[in-house]
Amino acid sequence: MRVFPCDRYRLPLPEGHSFPIDKYALLRRRLEEHAAAGAAIEFVEPHAATDDELARVHERGYLGRVMAGRLSPDEVRRIGFPWSRELVERSLRSTGAAVDAAAAALEDGIGASLAGGTHHAGSNWGEGYCVFNDTAVAAREMQARGAVRRVLILDCDVHQGNGTAEIFSHDPSVFTMSIHGARNFPLRKQASSLDVPLEDGCGDEEYLAALSPAVEQSFDRATPDLVLYIAGADPYEGDRLGRLRLSKQGLLERDRRVLGIARGVAVPVAIVLGGGYCREIESIVDIHAATILLAASRGRS
Ligand SMILES: [Zn+2]
């Protein structure tokens, strides 16, 4: 399985910033160890998303302000990262990684970005550590290349995919499913094609009982040529922002069900990471690594 890491493109963050930027390099290192021991993982540098790719999703004015560093103080606050050249480069690479992972999935059956899941970015705004919406750009780019007609975005990050929902609200060719904490950020949710809101404290059993029918219904209604799967690590019980109580085993079972249902109908899957805000960064890496290793063990190449 080809995976597209972005950890070389680091962000300069203020001291004490809550974003766990180190998880990306730690995850790559962990996966390199598994690859050396025989796991079927090939690391490929992602391209930087192009203007054409971005403009299929984001308004030109917003793109111009991001590129030139002319975002308003309110826009910067909403994103949650100080603006820098490095932020722009990283955002371009992590968006490119989703596009590359989608293209790899269409060739190999499966592919993964080792970043992204930037689902809070809408057509003309960034929000919640998300500058560009990577899965939205990947979906539209695969359509523009004529590689797919219909796309399903399965968002299993604990936060609602409000940006993705807004972007595709009038586009029936992309089906958006979000399973998330009902009382979690963002406070004002957008309507996805299918939303599955969960109460605080929801554990493995309850989550999985809600997940399976929602994923099956999404496949039935979307009839997708490609799935983009946001495999967030933040429904984990140890997460600081998640409010749910899934165990690591529960999260792996989530991945198994999503990949199993996709495989059952022979639809390619591209994975992006999504969030993870546990204090023990090794736990976040455990969860993401388990997702990637499971996917790699099921890939065709
Ligand atoms: Zn999240």
Domains of the chain listed by start with CATH number: 2-11+16-298 (3.40.800.20)
Q: How far is the CA of 276 from the centre of ligand 1 (A)?
A: 7
C-alpha closest to that of 273 among 147, 142, 111: 111
Give the residue among 71, 92, 113 at the shortest CA–CA distance from 270: 113
pLDDT score for 258: 98
Of residues 298 and 90, which shows the higher confidence score?
90
Cα-to-centroid distance, 232 and ligand 1 (Å): 6
How far, in Å, is the centroid of ligand 1 from the Cα of 157?
5
Query: What pLDDT is stored for residue 301 in this prediction?
Result: 39
| C-alpha 39 – ligand 1 centre gap (Å) | 28
Give the Å distance between the CA of 153 and the centre of ligand 1: 15
Centre a 10 Å sphere on the Cβ of residue 61 and count the other Cβ atoms it contains.
9
**Cα 183 to ligand 1 centre (Å):** 13
Going from the Cα of 59 to the center of ligand 1, the distance in angstroms, rounded, reads 24
Give distance in angstroms: CA of 171 to centre of ligand 1.
Answer: 24
Mean pLDDT of 273-298: 96
Length of the chain: 301
**Residue 233 Cα to ligand 1 middle (Å):** 8
Angle at 102 between CA 88 and CA 251, to 5 degrees: 90
73 CA to centre of ligand 1 in angstroms:
23
What average pLDDT does this structure show over 190-215?
98
Q: How far is the CA of 36 from the centre of ligand 1 (A)?
A: 31
Provide the 3-class DSSP secondary structure of residue 235.
coil
Q: How far is the CA of 182 from the centre of ligand 1 (A)?
A: 13
244 CA to centre of ligand 1 in angstroms: 12
pLDDT grade for 41, boundaries at 50, 70 and 90: very high
pLDDT at 141 over 60: yes
Of 73-77, 118-122, 295-299, give the lowest mean pLDDT range: 295-299
Q: Are 159 and 277 in contact (CB under 8 A)?
A: no
pLDDT above 70 as % of the chain: 99
The answer to whether 294 touches 256, Cβ cutoff 8 Å, is: yes
Q: Quickly state the pLDDT bin for 299 (edges 50, 70, 90).
A: low
Instruction: Check whether the bond before 82 is cis (ω within 30° of 0).
Output: no
Lowest-pLDDT range, 13-22, 54-63, 67-76, 204-213?
13-22
Q: How confident is the model at residue 18 (pLDDT cuts 50, 70, 90)?
A: confident
How far does residue 112's CA lie from ligand 1's centre (Å)?
18
Average pLDDT on 97-122 reads: 98
Residue 47's closest CA among 87, 10, 9?
Answer: 9
Residues 168, 202: Cα–Cα separation, whole Å: 28
Query: Is the pLDDT score of 17 beyond 60?
Result: yes
Confidence of residue 34 (pLDDT cuts 50, 70, 90): very high
As a whole number of angstroms, the distance between CA 17 and CA 39 comes to 34
Q: What is the mean pLDDT of residues 145-149?
A: 98
CA distance 63 to 71: 10
**CB atoms near residue 11 (< 10 Å):** 16
Number of Cβ within 10 Å of residue 220's Cβ equals: 9
Please tell me whether the peptide bond between 186 and the residue prior to it is cis, using omega within 30 degrees of 0: yes
Ligand 1 geometric centre to CA of 159 (Å): 4
**What is the rounded distance in angstroms from the CA atom of residue 271 to the CA atom of residue 295?**
9
